């Protein structure tokens, strides 16, 4: 009996994602999108939903980040051995690329939940003997290489993934595209679902588009046009050939270039953005499409520190399955226990900082945390817009700062921002203790979101589709201080769950630095000196944010609105 039999006996939802954060030492993820995909699967596991995930094996990972003495990011490949964590599957399918066959095999990783659930994750791999040396590298580097490399990866993911699921004996009731990277799967389905040629009038399209749309749903994550994958049709015709005829392809994916988002939009019955504001922005960007909002969430157990797990287990048994129970946290958990659980998380973070950088942090000082992809729209430098002001605040109300984040190797501005942050660190001298933790990953994220006192986010509106790290902070009673964008528009209740920087209007972007300094100086830091007032906000974050912004709620919505329609 094959180990797949446990999973192929019932129809499943196929969840396609270019990246999935399965566990910290498997580098098949780069950041937020992959962590969300991982949390999606972890919730599917806890809720025992019949899902199968499909992604690339990414043998060389995204990259390992080192920071040199000048504050520059260095990138090293992060090789891993699939055989250490997954089982090879004995199925192989071919796709045509550049007029040759490229063979795809796969590994089975079994995601094991902490409540006994299990989910199959299929890792697609072109490193097989039949392929040329070049083709064997297609599934190596996550988001690596040029546009042609990317298109090949997306052919493997979308077309190869659908073929492989069938070869393995999966019956798929719904295909979920997590971002547009996997949208070519729709072409494979069109190829599969054609009207009988006898029924067609001359010139009529043979593809049963309504049937394919019934089978597909799509989650978009990017609120700017430039963020969506585009491919030139010359490249497409050279690499992909004709899975469907070019006229049909252009009708579905755009006349000028193959726009993966447009393709996914046209082939999906259900489409959603990842927060209410993001869905609005997406509707404006793509008029004529119905785009719902399913606001993201994070996986409760994964993102809660050991101290808080113990507290919730004791006071709110069942919270791991039903995080809504956390609405009662304010009345049933004693303040002192909340503060003690946080002290433990803070100590764990300070120990990690010491181990990684040698810097000594003071666990009695309020600590600001900021960690995310280092890229222009996230504005990691906003806090440092006026170093003089920042220092003067710290002279009267001392605090410290912990930062982390990777920049995409091609993101020149993002890499400059990392250097700039290191310069600011030196400028702050001994007035503000500040550190940048290299190699941001799930483990560092887990320590940071729980161990700081305030979680900061300062994106340029409306670029933060959702943001999820602030939700992780909420599970640990850490309030957010953030620009009103993405999820925080829904999550912020001023002074109750955390604090807003400016208002939610795009025109507020230019005044954010001032608003941030004022809020920090006049509201946040003074409140920290009043533990009774502070713990109220910690509890507000748990009750009103963690109880809602979790991936169980998110998956229950996907199930009732996208998967079962």
Ligand X SMILES: *Cc1c(COP(=O)(O)O)cnc(C)c1O
Site of interaction with ligand X (CB under 6 A): 31-32, 35, 372-373, 440-442, 445, 467-470, 472
Q: Is 352:444 a contact under the CB 8 Å cutoff?
A: yes
Q: Minimum CB separation from ligand X for residue 531, in Å? A: 27
For residues 160 and 124, give the distance between their C-alpha atoms in angstroms, rounded to a whole number. Answer: 8
Q: Minimum CB separation from ligand X for residue 442, in Å? A: 5
In degrees and rounded to multiples of 5, residue 95 shows phi and psi of -125, 155
Q: Minimum CB separation from ligand X for residue 197, in Å? A: 48
Q: Is 541:329 a contact under the CB 8 Å cutoff?
A: no
Q: Minimum CB separation from ligand X for residue 35, in Å? A: 4
Nearest to 241 by CA among 151, 146, 167, 161: 151
Cα torsion angle, 236, 240, 241, 243, sign: negative
Burial of 348 (0-12, 13-18, 19+ CB in 10 A): middle
Q: Is 453:366 a contact under the CB 8 Å cutoff?
A: yes
**In this complex, which beta carbon is closest to ligand X, that of residue 12 or of residue 552?**
552
Q: Minimum CB separation from ligand X for residue 470, in Å? A: 6
**In this complex, which beta carbon is closest to ligand X, that of residue 131 or of residue 468?**
468
Q: Minimum CB separation from ligand X for residue 78, in Å? A: 13
Cα torsion angle, 159, 161, 164, 170, sign: negative
**In this complex, which beta carbon is closest to ligand X, that of residue 361 or of residue 455?**
455
Q: Minimum CB separation from ligand X for residue 500, in Å? A: 16
Q: Minimum CB separation from ligand X for residue 501, in Å? A: 15
Cα separations in angstroms, 252 against 214, 227, 289: 16, 19, 13
Q: Minimum CB separation from ligand X for residue 50, in Å? A: 26
Cα separations in angstroms, 195 against 166, 190, 362: 20, 10, 69
- DSSP, residue by residue, 449-474: HHHSSEEEE-PPTT--S---HHHHHH
- CA 559-13-164 angle, to 5 degrees, is 165
**In this complex, which beta carbon is closest to ligand X, that of residue 155 or of residue 442?**
442
Q: Minimum CB separation from ligand X for residue 294, in Å? A: 16
**In this complex, which beta carbon is closest to ligand X, that of residue 329 or of residue 442?**
442
**In this complex, which beta carbon is closest to ligand X, that of residue 137 or of residue 372?**
372
Burial of 537 (0-12, 13-18, 19+ CB in 10 A): buried
Nearest to 31 by CA among 347, 374, 346: 374
SS3 433: strand
**In this complex, which beta carbon is closest to ligand X, that of residue 29 or of residue 109?**
29
For residues 502 and 282, give the distance between their C-alpha atoms in angstroms, rounded to a whole number. Answer: 23
Q: Minimum CB separation from ligand X for residue 476, in Å? A: 13
**In this complex, which beta carbon is closest to ligand X, that of residue 105 or of residue 469?**
469
**In this complex, which beta carbon is closest to ligand X, that of residue 135 or of residue 464?**
464
Tell me the two tokens of residue 141: 């580097």
Q: Minimum CB separation from ligand X for residue 373, in Å? A: 6
**In this complex, which beta carbon is closest to ligand X, that of residue 163 or of residue 552?**
552
Nearest to 176 by CA among 37, 34, 22: 37
**In this complex, which beta carbon is closest to ligand X, that of residue 217 or of residue 442?**
442
Give the contacts of 386 (CB within 8 A, at least 6 positions apart). 513, 517
**In this complex, which beta carbon is closest to ligand X, that of residue 97 or of residue 474?**
474
**In this complex, which beta carbon is closest to ligand X, that of residue 312 or of residue 455?**
455
Nearest to 223 by CA among 176, 171, 177, 280: 280
Tell me the two tokens of residue 387: 């170093």
Q: Which one-letter DSSP state was computed for residue 261?
A: H
Give the contacts of 256 (CB within 8 A, at least 6 positions apart). none
Q: Minimum CB separation from ligand X for residue 492, in Å? A: 14
Could you count the other beta carbons within 10 Å of the beta carbon of residue 334? 11
Give the contacts of 176 (CB within 8 A, at least 6 positions apart). 13, 14, 15, 16, 216, 217, 218, 219, 558, 562, 563
């Amino acid at each position: 009996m094959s180990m797949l039999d446990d999973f192929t006996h019932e129809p499943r939802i196929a969840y396609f994602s270019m990246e999935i954060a399965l566990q910290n030492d498997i580098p098949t993820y780069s950041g937020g999108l992959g962590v969300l995909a991982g949390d999606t699967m972890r919730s599917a596991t806890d809720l025992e939903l019949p899902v199968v995930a499909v992604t690339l094996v990414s043998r060389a990972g995204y990259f390992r980040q080192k920071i040199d003495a000048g504050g520059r990011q260095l990138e090293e490949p992060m090789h891993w051995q699939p055989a250490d964590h997954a089982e090879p599957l004995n199925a192989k399918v071919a796709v045509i690329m550049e007029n040759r066959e490229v063979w795809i095999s796969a590994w089975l990783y079994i995601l094991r939940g902490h409540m006994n659930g299990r989910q199959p994750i299929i890792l697609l791999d072109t490193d097989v003997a039949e392929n040329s040396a070049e083709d064997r590298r297609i599934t190596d580097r996550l988001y690596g290489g040029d546009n042609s490399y990317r298109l090949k990866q997306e052919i493997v993911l979308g077309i190869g993934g659908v073929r492989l699921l069938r070869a393995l004996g999966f019956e798929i009731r719904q295909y979920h595209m997590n971002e547009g990277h996997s949208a070519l799967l729709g072409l494979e389905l069109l190829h599969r679902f054609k009207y009988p040629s006898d029924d067609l009038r001359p010139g009529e399209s043979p593809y049963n588009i309504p049937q394919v749309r019934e089978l597909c749903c799509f989650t978009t994550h990017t609120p700017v046009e430039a963020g969506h994958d585009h491919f030139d049709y010359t490249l497409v015709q050279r690499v992909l050939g004709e899975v469907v005829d070019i006229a049909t392809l252009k009708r579905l994916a755009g006349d000028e270039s193959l726009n993966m988002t447009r393709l996914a939009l046209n082939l999906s019955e259900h489409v959603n953005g990842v927060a209410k504001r993001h869905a609005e922005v997406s509707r404006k960007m793509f008029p004529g499409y119905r785009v719902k909002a399913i606001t993201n969430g994070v996986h409760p157990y994964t993102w809660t520190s050991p101290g808080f797990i113990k507290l919730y287990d004791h006071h709110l048994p069942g919270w791991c399955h039903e995080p809504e129970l956390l609405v009662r946290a304010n009345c049933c958990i004693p303040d002192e226990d909340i503060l003690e659980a946080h002290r433990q998380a803070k100590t764990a973070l300070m120990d990690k900082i010491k181990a990684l950088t040698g810097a000594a942090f003071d666990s009695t000082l309020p600590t600001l945390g900021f960690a995310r992809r280092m890229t222009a729209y996230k504005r990691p430098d906003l806090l440092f817009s006026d170093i003089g002001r920042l220092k003067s605040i710290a002279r009267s109300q001392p605090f410290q700062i912990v930062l982390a984040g990777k920049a995409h190797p091609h993101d020149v501005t993002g890499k400059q921002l990392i250097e700039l942050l290191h310069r600011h660190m030196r400028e702050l001298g001994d007035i503000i203790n500040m550190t940048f933790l290299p190699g941001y990953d799930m483990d560092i994220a887990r320590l940071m979101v729980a161990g700081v006192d305030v979680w900061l986010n300062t994106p340029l509106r409306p670029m933060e589709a959702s943001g999820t790290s602030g939700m992780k902070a909420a599970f640990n009673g850490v309030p957010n201080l953030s620009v009103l964008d993405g999820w925080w528009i829904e999550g912020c209740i001023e002074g109750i769950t955390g604090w807003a920087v400016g208002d939610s209007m795009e025109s507020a972007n230019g005044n954010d630095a001032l608003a941030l300094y004022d809020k920090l100086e006049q509201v946040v830091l003074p409140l920290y000196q009043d533990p009774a007032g502070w713990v109220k906000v910690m509890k507000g974050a748990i009750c009103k944010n963690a109880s809602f912004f979790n991936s169980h709620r998110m998956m229950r919505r996907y199930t009732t609105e996208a998967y079962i329609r």
